[in-house]
């Protein structure tokens, strides 16, 4: 595969677009997201025990 080269400004634009999509999804699926966070916290607690 050829190497993909993008500028810092292009990378920043892509990152902000991804962030905006995630933020919108979280707002639209708040209950699911909160359940996901609880599950993640439980997993972290199991790892530290």
Taking the C-alpha atoms of residue 10 and residue 17, their distance in angstroms, rounded to an integer, is 11
* pTM for the full predicted model: 0.59
Percentage of residues in the chain having pLDDT higher than 90:
78
Cβ-in-10-Å burial (0-12, 13-18, 19+) of 33 comes to: middle
Confidence at residue 49, expressed as pLDDT on a 0 to 100 scale: 62
Average pLDDT estimate for 14-41 = 94
* pLDDT higher than threshold 80 for residue 47: no
2-24: per-residue pLDDT in tens?
Answer: 999 999 999 999 999 999 999 99
Taking the C-alpha atoms of residue 21 and residue 8, their distance in angstroms, rounded to an integer, is 20
């Amino acid at each position: 595969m050829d190497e993909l080269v993008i500028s810092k400004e292009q990378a920043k634009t892509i990152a902000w677009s991804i962030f905006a999509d995630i933020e919108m999804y979280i707002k639209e699926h708040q209950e699911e997201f909160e359940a996901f966070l609880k599950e993640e916290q439980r997993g972290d607690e199991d790892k530290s025990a």
